[in-house]
């Protein structure tokens, strides 16, 4: 673990705690980590789940892989080292949103198991829910919404996950959603059911 380079700093304990924020919001905060290949439907599912939760009065925020690289991670490329740092930053940011009492949804390829496990270790047990958007490479390539697979196959994009860079499937995720076969609504339902089971939201929020 890297040593903190900030010296002479002391953690300030606030009077408005996470528990008080959660009580005000009427639900628990949790980190939903959507992972899968490019084109697997991570962002689509995360935003659809967020819309459902918002309609039911939940406080939410979605961190989208592409959007984050326009700001927080705009100085990072796609080397293995930069991918690791990208996920580290997102994990730390999402952790802050948990402290704010918010349901934090993240949609990132996050290809390496070790990186996902590092984010899991940032929060208490049960507060990191890994959701594997399972979709075959063939289907993702057929979709190729952004035209990235075609460019990767042509050698125009280096370090492209699934083509020239590996994707390590989750070994024991909290939820597997077959985004290659399920409808979007059925996929949303599976995620919402998980939140009910874990006591994040009440039974009235469905």
Cα gap 119→33, rounded to integer Å:
9
Catalytic residue list contains 110: yes
Residues 6+ apart with CB under 8 A from 43: 34, 64, 65, 66, 107
Residue of 38, 110, 165, 187 with catalytic role:
110
**Which helix (DSSP H) or strand (DSSP E) does residue 49 occupy?**
helix 42-55
Residues 6+ apart with CB under 8 A from 111: 83, 161, 165, 166, 167, 168
Residues annotated as catalytic are 110
């Amino acid at each position: 673990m890297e040593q903190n380079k900030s010296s002479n700093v002391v953690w300030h304990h606030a009077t408005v705690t996470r528990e008080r924020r959660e009580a005000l919001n009427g639900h628990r905060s949790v980190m939903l980590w959507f992972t899968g290949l490019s084109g697997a439907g991570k962002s689509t599912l995360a935003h659809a789940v967020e819309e459902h939760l918002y309609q039911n009065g939940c406080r939410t925020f979605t961190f989208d892989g592409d959007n984050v690289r326009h700001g927080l991670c705009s100085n990072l490329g796609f080397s293995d080292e930069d991918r690791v740092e990208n996920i580290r930053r997102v994990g730390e940011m999402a952790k802050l949103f948990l402290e704010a009492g918010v349901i934090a949804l993240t949609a990132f390829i996050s290809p390496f198991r070790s990186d996902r496990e590092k984010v899991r270790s940032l929060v208490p047990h049960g507060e990191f829910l890994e959701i594997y958007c399972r979709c075959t490479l063939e289907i993702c390539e057929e979709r190729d919404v952004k035209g990235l697979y075609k460019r990767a196959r042509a050698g125009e994009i280096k370090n492209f996950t699934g083509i020239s860079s590996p994707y390590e499937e989750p070994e024991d995720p909290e939820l597997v959603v077959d985004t290659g076969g399920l409808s979007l609504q059925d996929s949303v339902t599976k995620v919402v059911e998980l939140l009910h089971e874990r006591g994040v939201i009440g039974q009235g929020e469905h």
